[in-house]
Amino acid sequence: MASTQESGTGQVQIRFTTKQEQYAVPDLPFAVPAGINSNELNVLLNELLKEGRSDITSVDFDFLVCGEFLRQPLNDLLEERNVSFEDVIDVEYVEQHPTPEPMDCLMHDDWVSAVHVRNGWILTGCYDNTLHIWSKTGTHHLTIPGHSGPVKAVAWVSLTPTVGSFVSVSHDQTAMLWKWNIEDNSVDCIHVCRGHERSLECVSVNHNSTLMATGGWDTLLKIWTTSMLDTSSAASHSTGDSDETEIKRAKVESNSKSHIKTPIMTLKGHKEAISSVVWTDNQELATSSWDHTLRLWDAELGGIKSEIAGNKSFFDMSHSSLNRTVITASADRHIRLYDLRSTEGSLVKSTFTSHSQWVQSVKWSTTDEHLFISGAHDSQVLLWDSRSPKAPLFNLEGHEDKVMCVDWSNPRYMVSGGADKTVRIFKSRHAPSKNGTEGEKEEL
């Protein structure tokens, strides 16, 4: 058997298993060539499925061995995992993820550096200092000036059928809280958030939409209320008439119509720019930084809970509420998966390598604990399964310059923006959703 293991010749015994009962086959071991690959397993499995069944057409499957998708000959994976060739190998199969469907291309006037989707609405931010609101069908609804520097991050705060609110952060050192009247398509800047001393890079709103956090080049993490009515000690008095102005092309006079809001908490610890901030729950945050570290923060008590040191600057991070892990984007073209709460073994649980240049942005699926997307300076947007670290599932082609932001907040739409001045939308063809319909809601 040693010679078989070294050469990849001979046979091994496998047992097919699946959680998709409609595709179940007999629970029996099969002898197959040790060097069998996923295409050959697909042929074998489809032959087994069709025996005595007329309702089955050919189905493409992926195969999990030792918790990893088979992307190489079986014997190579078994050798990597030090699995005996004399054991019966369990091979779990799942139906392949359907190819995402390309949809609209939203044209902008400058680099698109920020994007966030809520239900049927797409919010974007650009290097020409503007924000934009689009429908999921590609209709442009508003251009919103107001910032005096490039917009680096945006986030929806709340959205009802008649009113939406959102936040934007910019190189102009401010965050702005906006109120959008959907019925008459007008927007007002309600609060200008001041307190940072250098450019802002990131913003995140907590799960119940009561707090938001910002970070940037002054290395400080600041927490603010999202209240539109806040004129207490957390925000100074209005600098002018507080009556909201009706706007059609978002003619914002932020200096004369907005309250100044100040942070309720400032957290110090990072040595260089904070590149990303995410709320892991309503009172806990995680940050990534150019100082090569990830940090967990207690937003209630105000302090650092833990720190992980990497070996490269982190450009972005995404936290999954489904699997409680984070993925990171870095300057060395790799994506890494971390368990911030792990106390055993390596803190890096997986490394995903396919991009050829810096990875700029990453985002977990909100409905599938294994899926995420990434965007990089190589102009590629890739769809990954965390069980397939050696190769992505799909390349979502279209961008012609570096990708600067990605978002998958709506389970049905994978969205990306880049230096080619476009936002690209891909539709996920099988995305599960809350109440079975969230991804298909009509525009609010």
Q: Which fold has domain 11-95?
A: Ubiquitin-like (UB roll) (3.10.20)
> Locate tokens 């079986």: which residue?
74
Strands, sheet with 200-205, edge to edge from the N-terminal-most edge strand: 200-205, 211-216, 221-225, 265-267
CB 189 within 8 A of CB 251: no
CB 149 within 8 A of CB 199: yes
Three-state secondary structure of the chain: CHHHHHHCCCEEEEEEECCCHHHCCCCCEEEEECCCCHHHHHHHHHHHHHCCCCCCCCCCEEEEECCEECCCCHHHHHHHCCCCCCCEEEEEEEECCCCCEEEEEEECCCCEEEEEEECCEEEEEECCCCEEEEECCCCEEEEECCCCCCEEEEEEEEECCCEEEEEEEECCCCEEEEEEECCCCEEEEEEEECCCCCCEEEEEECCCCCEEEEEECCCCEEEEECCCCCCCCCECCCCCCCCCCCCCCCCCCHHHHCEEECCCEEECCCCCCEEEEEEEECCEEEEEECCCEEEEEECCCCEEEEEEECCCCEEEEEECCCCCCEEEEECCCEEEEECCCCCCCCCEEEEEECCCCCEEEEEECCCCCCEEEEEECCCCEEEEECCCCCCCCEECCCCCCCEEEEECCCCCEEEEEECCCEEEEEECCCCCCHHHCHHHCCCC
Within a 10 A sphere around the Cβ of 21, how many other Cβ atoms?
6
Residue 420 to residues 122, 198, 200, 402: CA-CA distances in angstroms? 18, 27, 22, 7
Residues of the chain with confidence (pLDDT) below 70: 1-9, 52, 230-258, 343-346, 431-444
pLDDT in tens, 142-167: 999 999 999 999 999 999 999 999 99
Residue 221's nearest CA partner among 283, 306, 299, 324 is 299
For the chain, which residues make up each domain, given as ranges? Answer: 11-95, 101-226+258-427
The architecture (CATH level 2) of 101-226+258-427 comes to 7 Propeller (2.130)
